[in-house]
A = this chain, B = another copy of it.
Amino acid sequence: MKKITIVAFDKFTDVDVFLPWDLLNRVKFREKDWSVKIVGSKERHISVTGIPVPTHGIIEECNTADVVFFASGAGTRALIKDPEYLKRFKLNPEKQLICSMCSGSLVLAALGLLNGITATTYPTAAQELQSYGVEVEEKPLVIHGNIATAAGCLAAVDLVGWIVERMLGPEVREDIIASVQPVGKGLECIY
């Protein structure tokens, strides 16, 4: 079973959890052995707009996942100042795909996962990311081996594409991405 964890927290940006969540769940139409969970440090987290989302598991589940996806939002600023939270993660970029949307890159930096590599982030988080010694690139998606950072909400489509291609190959990637394109602009139904 391939296991994907999306890390949520209080004050997450709605679309940065729910767009990848929806896209990654579509993979189940192509691959039965595929699990997607929203994980967190509470039984539910509340988005920046006030939507409560029950978590499917605790953040320690990331430590045994195949893919760890950090969402973004104003709430990342509290996480990176919380050593007790951060030390619950024992991630291994040699064995896991690890990635972030927008300001989720700050959590990657706080975990030391961006040491010596470049990354992208939402412009309002760029200075804070640089303060970790990370060189910020103004690109939608920056990939170094098993670590990817994406920024600008709709770049989640590219980031999910990268995950799906790395896990299941380019054909499944194409199917998933085509399933959300506008009608007349590349939409292909997969179910």
**Which residues does A use to contact B, with CB under 8 Å?**
13-15, 18-19, 21-23, 25, 49, 51-54, 120-124, 138-141, 150-155, 157-158, 179-185, 187, 189, 191
Contacts and interface: CB of A to CB of B under 8 A. Distances in A.
B140 A184 contact: yes
A53 B18 CA distance: 12
B52 A189 contact: no
Given A124-B189, A152-B187, A180 B53 contact: no
Contacts of A152: 180-185, 187
A53 B181 CA distance: 25
Contact of A139 (B23, B25, B121, B183): B183
Residue from A13, A22, A180 having most chain B Cβ neighbours under 10 A: A22
10 contacts: A14-B22, A14-B25, A15-B22, A18-B22, A19-B19, A22-B49, A51-B53, A124-B189, A152-B180, A152-B182
A18 B156 CA distance: 14
A143 to B, nearest CB: 14
B151 A154 contact: no
Contacts of A191: 124
Contacts of A187: 122-123, 151-152
Nearest to A121: B183
Per CB-CB distance, the 5 closest pairs between chain A and chain B, nearest first, are A140-B182, A18-B18, A155-B182, A152-B182, A153-B180
Nearest to A159: B182
Contacts of A184: 138-140, 152
